[in-house]
Amino acid sequence: MKRSQVVDEDTFDRNTSVTVLSRIVRIALPLPRPLLFDYLVPAGMNPAVGLCARLPFGRGEKTGVVVAVDPPDAPPADKLKPVLELLEDIPPLPSEWLALTAFAARYYQHPLGEVISAALPPGLRRAVKLPRDDDPWLATTPAGRLALGEAKKITRALAAVLAVQSAGARRRSQLLGDLDGDASGAIREARAKGWLEIVARAGEREPIGALTLNTAQQAAVHAVNDAAGSFRPFLLFGVTGSGKTEVYLHQIAHTLAQGRQALMLVPEIGLTPQLMERVASRFPGANLVSLHSGMADGARSLGFVQALKGEADIVLGTRLSVFVPLPRLGLIVVDEEHDASFKQQDGLRYSARDLAVWRANAEKLPIVLGSATPSLETWQHAEAGRYTRLDLPLPAVADKPPSLRRIDTRRVKLDHGLSPGLIEGIRTRLARGEQSLVFLNRRGYAPVIACPQCNWVSACPHCSANMVFHAADRALRCHHCGHEGRVPHICPGCGNQDLHAFGRGTQRLEERLGEHFPEARIERVDRDAVRTPAQWEAVRARIEAREIDILVGTQMLAKGHDFPMLTLVGIVGADAGLYAADFRAPERLFQQLMQVAGRSGRGELPGEVLVQTEFPEHPLYEHLARRDYPGFAKRELAERKMAGFPPWGYHAVLRAEAPELDAAIAWLNTARAVAESLQSPVMLYDVVPMRLVRRARLERAQLVLESDNRPGLQATLAALMPLLYALKCPRELRWHIDVDPGEL
């Protein structure tokens, strides 16, 4: 028998119903199609919207989430399979959470079941039982503090003590997330040695160590505090060191004092132990949950469930944290809101920043987007008055910004990419005992190995890209698919023994600097040399201890705090970003250079930035020299307006990949014809091969859709998607849609 009305847990009268009717749940399952499935609820289970469920599916099992109970249009009960298990010991996901995932599914044109699955931590996704109450609060003992004080070397057990020490007390699950390597082993050892003990939750509720705010900070804090309980988006505009984090901490304190929860999103690389420590030590009594994809599954699930139960006070995490359910949420902060890592590049291609704004609107909260170099989308919102801009000028205590000088590389002879001016600058710093940083955003030794006789190059067999030469292990590595090979001793094309490495990466620069300055202590910082947050911490400690004279590295170096002895920043090979094909390239370049330029001259000593360029008059460098983000944004926005690019236009990209390029193009052309038949005002570009056409043995092509208004684009996509799902698709072809793509 079919029920005629949607009924949920609150309104359903369980006593009378169970005897009369069989109950049905509608489930979102992680499948690549936008379908929902109905199941029968066996007697004894209490269905509710938002519960996770384990279900028979095909020959196996799947886990999904109940999105409706007793839907009116369900098929007869005798046609349905029964639910295997409802995970009733986890509270149902709240309706706001389901609304957020439903919006993400709709907006990014992605199946709801897959959105829900992506939004859940891996443990819940697989419906594994959570360990019960295995999450005590741990505090350091006097013996632990003594051991820490006397230690010559931080062992893994002491690392655990150290992580707890700064926070006063820490939940075990959180500690697991903080530590590298065998974290549970480290905690076990520290407890066996009597250095850590289980305590009741810390009672202290007052934030400690808050700084007295300057006038601009005060104004920013008040503006956001006054907006509590209503949707108000803010742009907190200030360079690194202007006190943004301090402002967030005051706003969070206000939020907690009202008994509400705060969510703070940071970029992938921004979730450093220092930030964790700063937040944890400011709010010793608060339950701080940190979440990032590198955490163990168990710790992630526990953090998620603590948040869901309302036990977490602050959630601090990377983009995936935007999906953490928070029943008492009062404030969202997105730090470095322009950072590209907020956009997911596969599966559900969402922007955590954009979803955060949507969430703040849906849940009636203030949201603070912070940056020194906001995305042009956000900047334009502020210019148009939709977001309130809060400016933090550099406080008077900070020294004046570094001077910026351009070195015209057309007029000087470069030595392996280094100009005499830069070499001289480094030499001066060395003599004065100061530090220099050389920035080159390309890792490896050389981007290609080639044969000058027959023109053989070290091409990746699976991609339309060259394999990069890594000198340390004499390997060739493809940075797109990860394919590795040995450097050949003779040319595979003609047998020539004299192969050349062309161009340069950070390794080669490091080598050349070593030849110039044999007495200097040089350290390279890129993804090959520094793989974990702990390693980055170690490098930073060496910089601060003045154990490093010259740093060479990629954009990894752009983040992070001030090094007072660092007085010279050299920028090498930045020009590529000026005329790149992607329309966002100048914005990214400016953001990176502003950040890396800001590394110098923050202490007592004046800083200098040297930019090696063939285009010294380029306006981007003019704005950079004046540290003039608003001027840069104005000019760039004007160009984007003429071209109809975001934030003046809206894009979606339909991409297809297949072993043969023709197949991908043919499918996209069919899709294009289907889109054309909708006769919508959305503009359809020609189907073209992607710039990196071949990656990991697949040929890729794309179709760009463009509209001057978002609802128009959304309506067209909504109409188009079912037609695309219905299209015949060759077995080895994969396609996806990317709404608001990061690049075109």
What is the contact surface with ligand ADP in residues (CB under 6 A)? Answer: 211-214, 217, 238, 240-246
Structure tokens at 303: 């953090």
Q: How far apart are CA 649 and CA 685, in angstroms?
A: 14
Q: How many residues are there in the chain? A: 744
541 binds Zn ion, rule: CB under 5 A:
no
Scan residues 152-181 and list those touching Zn ion (CB under 5 A). none
CA distance 385 to 357: 15
**Closer CB to ligand ADP, 47 or 238, in the complex:** 238
Q: Binding string, 427-456, against Zn ion, x = CB under 5 A?
A: ------------------------x-xx-x
Cis peptide before 647 (omega within 30 of 0): yes
Q: Which does 241 bind (CB under 5 to 8 A by kind): ligand ADP, Zn ion, none?
A: ligand ADP
Instruction: Pick the closer one to ligand ADP by CB: 165 or 240.
Output: 240
Beta strand segments in 18-58, E:
23-28, 36-41, 52-57
Q: Among Zn ion, ligand ADP, none, what binds residue 451 when CB lies within 5 to 8 Å by partner kind?
A: Zn ion
- Piece of the chain touching Zn ion by CB under 5 A; list 60-68, 138-146, 349-357, 471-479: 471-479
Eight-state DSSP code of residue 319? G
The position carrying tokens 């419906």 is: 127
**Interaction of residue 496 with Zn ion, rule CB under 5 A:** yes
* Partner from Zn ion, ligand ADP, none contacting 493, C-beta within 5 to 8 A by type: Zn ion
Q: Is the dihedral of CA 28, 31, 33, 37 positive or negative?
A: negative
Nearer to ligand ADP, 216 or 227 (CB): 216
Rounded to a whole number of angstroms, the minimum distance from the CB of residue 691 to Zn ion is 14
Identified binder of Zn ion from the candidate list 29, 77, 418, 463, rule CB under 5 A:
463
Nearest to 425 by CA among 274, 611, 242: 611
Q: Cβ neighbours of residue 488 under 8 Å, at least 6 residues apart? A: 499
Piece of 46-54, 223-231, 492-500, 530-538 that binds Zn ion (CB under 5 A): 492-500
* Beta strands in 421-528, from DSSP E residues, in sequence order: 435-439, 448-450, 468-470, 475-477, 484-486, 500-502, 522-525
**Residue closer to ligand ADP (CB basis): 240 or 592:** 240
Residue 45 token pair: 């289970």
Q: How far is the CB of 251 from ligand ADP (least distance, A)?
A: 12
CB of 220 to ligand ADP, least distance (A): 11
Residue type, 378: T
Q: How far is CA 273 from CA 167, 180, 281, 342, 565, in A?
A: 11, 11, 12, 19, 22
Question: By C-beta, is 213 or 625 nearer to ligand ADP?
Answer: 213
Task: Classify residue 397 as exposed, middle or buried by CB count within 10 Å of its CB (0-12, 13-18, 19+).
Answer: exposed
Does the protein bind Zn ion through residue 493 (CB under 5 A)? Answer: yes
Quote the least distance from Cβ 660 to ligand ADP, whole Å: 50
In the complex, what is the shortest distance from the CB of residue 208 to ligand ADP, in angstroms, rounded to a whole number? 14
Asked if residue 198 binds Zn ion (CB under 5 A), the reply is no
The dihedrals phi and psi of 53, each to the nearest 5 degrees, come to -140, 145
Find which of ligand ADP, Zn ion, none residue 16 binds, CB within 5 to 8 Å per kind: none
Nearer to Zn ion, 62 or 442 (CB): 442
- The secondary element (H helix, E strand) that includes residue 676 is helix 661-677
Q: Which is nearer to Zn ion, 210 or 454 (CB)?
A: 454
Q: Which residues pair with 389 in a beta bridge?
A: 235
Q: In the bound complex, what is the minimum distance in angstroms from residue 513's beta carbon to ligand ADP?
A: 29
DSSP 505: -
Which partner from the list Zn ion, ligand ADP, none does 742 bind, CB cut-off 5 to 8 Å by kind?
A: none
Span near Zn ion by CB under 5 A; candidates 155-163, 380-388, 474-482, 569-577: 474-482
Choice between 497 and 679, CB closer to Zn ion: 497
Is 481 an interacting residue with respect to Zn ion (CB under 5 A)? yes
Residue 478 in contact with Zn ion, rule: CB under 5 A? yes
Tokens of 680: 């919508």
Residue among 245 and 555 whose Cβ is closer to ligand ADP: 245
N-term to C-term CA, the chain: 52
Q: State the Cα angle at 670 between 669 and 674, rounded to 5°.
A: 115
**Contact, 717 vs 739, CB < 8 A?**
yes
- Is 211 or 673 the residue whose CB approaches ligand ADP more closely? 211
Which amino acid type is present at position 80?
A: L
Nearest approach, Cβ of 107 to ligand ADP (angstroms)?
30
The one of ligand ADP, Zn ion, none whose footprint includes residue 462, by CB under 5 to 8 A per kind, is Zn ion
What count of Cα atoms within 13 Å lies in the side-chain half-sphere of residue 529? 25
Out of ligand ADP, Zn ion, none, which partner does residue 480 contact, by CB within 5 to 8 A per kind? Zn ion
**Between vectors from CA 26 to CA 20 and to CA 30, what angle results, nearest 5°?**
155
Does 462 participate in binding Zn ion (rule CB under 5 A)?
yes
For the bound state, the minimum distance from the C-beta of residue 569 to ligand ADP, rounded and expressed in Å, comes to 17
Spatial CA neighbour of 329 closest among 358, 282, 289, 366? 366
Q: Which residues bind Zn ion (CB under 5 A)?
A: 451, 453-454, 456, 460, 462-463, 478, 480-481, 483, 491, 493-494, 496
